[in-house]
Amino acid sequence: MTEDYSIRVAQSLGDIDPESWKQLSGTSRNTSGKPYNPFISHAFLSSMEDSGSATAKTGWLGNHLLLENSSGDLVGAIPAYLKNHSKGEYVFDHGWADAFERAGGHYYPKLQCSVPFTPATGPRLLTSETVDETRFKPLLASGVAQVTEKIGVSSAHVTFLPEDDLAALLPRDFLHRTDQQFHFLNDGYRDHDDFLDALSSRKRKGLKKERRAALENGIEIDWLTGRDLTEDIWDQFFAFY
């Protein structure tokens, strides 16, 4: 007998049982499957909402997709938000939005499946460790398409996702958008000079020249943590951002 599954939408992580969320692949340090990813943990995503960072007021209205079986057990999920702007995504689609509006459409709100303000690749189609993800990721991909159509938004976007999530989305007529990121990998360097020694002579000289130029301009770097991060400092950080 084939079991029935349904998609439910939750507007807050607070409406989702933390223990049920933890059994999704990659969301817990105790996971027996894929490596733990802190950015999709219940604690991290909840902190975004509880702090007021990702809320309807800031243009990040929770619209989290929950895949449940007939008993109401959580077998899959997608952290998702209704967005009325494109800020905090680190993927620039303002040109698309402008073209869509000039063609007579309404680009916003859109459904954004991502981790707010966090341009780090990680799972987006989350499945229970007790199920076959090759079967349930496509169910989640279909759920995104169905919810997008039902709520009447212009589009759904899934960003900074791994290859296995992409493979589940492409057959559902999602467009594949590619971009570039630059990552620093610490290959066991003892210090900055050790890192420089691993570079070619030209690049090594270039970096040293840049650092000298910065110091010549009187730039100082302060490392602040904990209680040193005052409201004034946060205001300055926001202005720079």
| Same domain for 143 and 88 | yes
Confirm if 24 and 77 have CB atoms less than 8 A apart: yes
- Over residues 81-98, the mean pLDDT reads 92
Q: What integer pLDDT is reported at residue 30 of this predicted model?
A: 66
| Same domain for 208 and 115 | no
| Same domain for 228 and 121 | no
| Same domain for 200 and 152 | no
Omega before 119 within 30 of 0, i.e. cis: no
Mean pLDDT (the chain) is 92
H/E/C letters for each residue in 24-91? ECCCCCCCCCCCCCHHHCHHHHHHHHHCCCCCCCCCEEECEEEEEECCCCEEEEECEEEECCCCCCCC
- Asked, for residue 123, whether it belongs to a domain, the answer is yes
- Asked, for residue 179, whether it belongs to a domain, the answer is no
What is the domain count for the chain? 2
| Same domain for 127 and 64 | yes
- Asked, for residue 136, whether it belongs to a domain, the answer is yes
Place of tokens 């996971």: 31
- Asked, for residue 184, whether it belongs to a domain, the answer is no
| Same domain for 99 and 68 | yes
| Same domain for 218 and 99 | no
What SS3 state is found at 170? helix
State which residues form the domain around 155: 5-172
| Same domain for 101 and 62 | yes
| Same domain for 210 and 101 | no
Q: What integer pLDDT is reported at residue 18 of this predicted model?
A: 95
Q: What integer pLDDT is reported at residue 32 of this predicted model?
A: 56
pLDDT digits (tens, 9 = 90+) for 36-68: 999 999 999 999 999 999 999 999 999 999 999
Q: Which residues pair with 81 in a beta bridge?
A: 62, 112
Query: Beta strands 64-69 and 60-62: pairing type?
Result: unpaired
pLDDT digits (tens, 9 = 90+) for 201-236: 999 999 999 988 888 888 888 899 998 999 999 999
Q: What integer pLDDT is reported at residue 31 of this predicted model?
A: 59
- Asked, for residue 182, whether it belongs to a domain, the answer is no
Q: Rounded distance, CA 174 to CA 157, Å?
A: 9
Q: Rounded distance, CA 198 to CA 146, Å?
A: 50
Place of tokens 């040193």: 228
pLDDT class for 28, splitting at 50, 70, 90? confident
Please tell me which residue, 241 or 203, carries the higher pLDDT value.
203
| Same domain for 196 and 168 | no
| Same domain for 198 and 164 | no
pLDDT digits (tens, 9 = 90+) for 146-159: 999 999 999 999 99
Of 211, 200, 78, 99, residue with least CA distance to 145? 78
CA atoms within 13 Å, Cβ hemisphere of 123: 23
Q: What integer pLDDT is reported at residue 25 of this predicted model?
A: 87
| Same domain for 200 and 149 | no
Q: What percent of the chain has pLDDT over 90?
A: 79
- Asked, for residue 181, whether it belongs to a domain, the answer is no
